[in-house]
Chains A and B, each alone.
Chain A
């Protein structure tokens, strides 16, 4: 994390003095971008750097679904299960994904290729149900479209 400190310093300039706790979120995002997840050592580093109580970082990390505490596979599949997506069959899609990949939400395939996660609304309700793979949106999903998507990912597209 140390090498990110110059970047954090720049970020700090954008906030009024004494608002160091506002930096928790952007710093965590930057750390995750870099490492792929937030490690315990990152939390400790941030506590030391920002001087905020550790519990505050733990609260933020566990509140926002996009933060990960462990590495994920090469393809990170996130399926929305919030209201609009659920009404249009998200649960069935998640079951389908689970079966196809042989893992439950929150797990990674043994070969490290796929991780599956369920998430809350990703603001794509109009084209529900939606699934994101490594951050790109795939909307109005069906089981068939999912199969094709996963196969193409498996080929490394």
Chain B
């Protein structure tokens, strides 16, 4: 274990580490565009340079192996001067159109410029112009003027998503990032990660383009419910203090974008494109009206109706949701578990054209909490499953089950969050809250438990399933 010195302070290092890695591991931020902890070292931006004590010039730290008693200076006069010049060079042909750039507020070039340079441009030359909107794919646009040619995006497709679909063509000051002519980037199921990876505003998500300045948004930590991997994500939505008054109020409750939240135990810093596309799934038309025997009723009346159905049932069966949180499932088990024969149902199956599974992140089970549900209730409801003989009440929680499959004579209770014409068939329908309106945890297919927070308040007309179950359990049911 060599010991190295950074600005005079000693740090323990692993002999395979670089100076950049030791610094990062100890919370020392060295500037750099091309280095990324999960990608190979390119060493082409030259911004991470440090001075080795006793030497009169700088060397890049991202490619500098540690050695016993290596002494590096990250803030010497030479280093400071050098960084200034590198940033002046980087911005030589950069359009500095931060005012209209989606990355403004999260751009490394902006931050580094103010931290390490700050001086106005000394160049009197006209800037070289390049393509402003080059569609790298139907999802991603590339602003070539803003690209600093760090090659992070290129390395991502070669090393992480493995489509090898991006490259740098031409050379010198005509170099451009381009997608290969075979369309592999279009079908790269992880392509959108390059938008987060890009240190500047060169790669932009076409769905988020010009939607909002990032400083009006808040990131709520959450878990992607798109598949059994349960990637850690951030759900970005408007900060309450920046509530829009004049525009459609739905903007204030919209999920503007979904980005990865680094979780080494589950997904690292990546998520799949499908995870980024979940907002429309959440934002489908909500069910807000409780129904009892075909009539719209207030939610308490529907709860009362459901409770009496449960009370009277001799052989009730429940299909519980694999989109439910561990807390909701535990609440169900505690309040109603002994009274019902319970099956765990899959709420969602792969959609046509969706990547079913791969060996990167995507899992074939498109439900976030099948593992958590099966930990509470052992039986799974599958394609060939049938209701036990004599079932006289069926409670369906969540999506993925069509009531038309069961005889009209069977009493039914449905709990769901989104509008569906099938709900009208139920004897009792109670609208429930969705993931973005509550907090909870999911257990992913490997058994890792991850928590999510609420982004928005729920509507008064819908119930939290967690509270609902205690109310549904009549005294004699709970005691049974």
State the A residues within 8 Å of B (CB).
40, 43, 47, 53-56, 58-59, 62-63
Looking at the assembled complex, report how far the CB atom of B146 sits from the nearest CB atom of chain A, in whole angstroms.
Answer: 21
Question: In whole Å, how far is B460's beta carbon from the nearest beta carbon of chain A?
Answer: 54
Q: Once bound together, how far apart are the Cα atoms of A14 and B167, in whole Å?
A: 27
Whose C-beta in chain A lies nearest to the C-beta of B162?
Answer: A53
Q: List 20 A-B contacts (CB under 8 A).
A: A53-B158, A53-B167, A53-B180, A53-B184, A55-B164, A55-B165, A55-B179, A55-B180, A56-B164, A58-B167, A58-B169, A58-B178, A58-B180, A59-B167, A59-B168, A62-B170, A62-B171, A63-B169, A63-B170, A63-B171
Contact with A along B168-182 (1 / 0, CB 8 A): 111100000011111
User: Which residues on A sit within 8 Å (CB–CB) of B231?
Assistant: none
Task: Knowing that A55-B178, A62-B171 touch, tell me 12 more A-B residue pairs with CB under 8 angstroms.
Answer: A53-B180, A54-B181, A55-B165, A55-B167, A55-B180, A56-B167, A58-B167, A58-B169, A58-B178, A58-B181, A59-B167, A63-B170
How far, in whole Å, are A43 and B169 apart by their CA atoms in the complex?
15
Q: How far is the CA of A58 from the CA of B19 in the complex (A)?
A: 34
CA distance A63 to B169 in the complex (A): 6
Q: Hey, which chain B residues are within 8 Å of A40, CB to CB?
A: 181
CB proximity to A under 8 Å, residues B110-169? 158, 164-169
CA of A59 to CA of B166, assembled, Å: 10
Which residues of chain A have C-beta atoms less than 8 A from B166's C-beta?
55
Given contacts A53-B164, A55-B164, is CB(A62)–CB(B169) below 8 Å?
yes
Which 4 pairs between the two chains have the least Cβ-Cβ distance? A53-B164, A55-B180, A55-B167, A62-B169
- Residues of A contacting B169 in the complex (Cβ-Cβ under 8 angstroms): 58-59, 62-63
Task: Tell me the B residues contacting A by CB distance below 8 Å.
Answer: 158, 164-171, 178-182, 184
Q: State how many angstroms separate the Cβ of B384 from the closest Cβ of chain A.
A: 43
Q: Which residue of B lies closest to A65 (CB)?
A: B171
CA distance A55 to B155 in the complex (A): 12
A48, B165: Cα distance in complex, Å: 16
Residues of B within 8 A of A58 (CB): 167, 169, 178, 180-181
With A and B bound together, what is the CA distance between A54 and B164 in angstroms? 8
User: A77 CB to closest chain B CB, in angstroms?
Assistant: 21
Chain A residue contacts of B181, Cβ below 8 A: 40, 43, 54, 58
Of B158, B164, B167, B168, chain A has the most CB atoms within 10 Å of the CB of B167
Minimum CB–CB distance for A143 against chain B, Å: 28
Q: Which B residues lie within 8 Å of A56 (CB)?
A: 164, 167
Give chain A residues whose Cβ lies under 8 Å from the Cβ of B179: 55
CA distance A40 to B169 in the complex (A): 16
Query: Which A residues are in CB contact (< 8 Å) with B180?
Result: 53-55, 58
Distance in Å: Cβ of A30 to nearest Cβ of chain B: 21
The residue that B182 contacts in the complex, of A54, A59, A63, with Cβ under 8 A, is: A54
How long is the Cα–Cα vector from A54 to B157 in the complex, in angstroms? 13
Q: How far, in whole Å, are A100 and B191 apart by their CA atoms in the complex?
A: 49
Q: How far is the CB of B431 from chain A (nearest CB, A)?
A: 50
| B169 and chain A: residue at smallest CB distance | A62
| Minimum Cβ distance to chain A for residue B40 (Å) | 15
Contacts of B170 in A (CB 8 A): 62-63
Q: Report A26 CB to chain B, min CB distance, Å.
A: 20
Report the minimum CB–CB distance from B147 to chain A (whole Å). 15
Complex Cα–Cα for A54 and B184 (A): 9
Could you say which residues of chain A place their CB within 8 Å of the CB of B164?
A: 53, 55-56
